[in-house]
Amino acid sequence: MVKVINLKTHKVTENEPPVPIKCNVCGTDVDERVGGIMGNIKYASDVNILDVAFCSICTAGIVQMLMENQNQRRK
């Protein structure tokens, strides 16, 4: 919890930190600044089908699997 004090009005407000989003694969906290990915898969422009979040390690693993799959199809 963070307390913010306005120096002019001397009002104290308490802000709760946002709840961390968990990785869909391994369950660790996702941070976009460290290489994590968050977003949603959409069916149409207004219908969200699936919210996704991947940590940096799972993102690297998914990219590696996609690259290996692509290389196998070329042979």
Q: Residue 47 domain-assigned?
A: yes
The number of beta carbons lying within 10 Å of the beta carbon of residue 23 is: 20
pTM, entire model: 0.64
Query: 61: domain range?
Result: 20-74
Q: Note the pLDDT tens digit of each residue in 18-33.
A: 788 899 999 998 888 8
- Which tokens is 1 given? 């919890």
Roughly how many angstroms between the first and final C-alpha of the chain, as a whole number?
A: 55
Q: What is the pLDDT of residue 61?
A: 93
Q: Residue 66 domain-assigned?
A: yes
Q: Residue 55 domain-assigned?
A: yes
What gap in Å lies between CA 66 and CA 17, rounded to an integer? 35
Count of domains for the chain: 1
SS3 60: helix
Q: Note the pLDDT tens digit of each residue in 32-67.
A: 888 888 888 887 777 768 889 999 999 999 999 999
Q: Residue 11 domain-assigned?
A: no
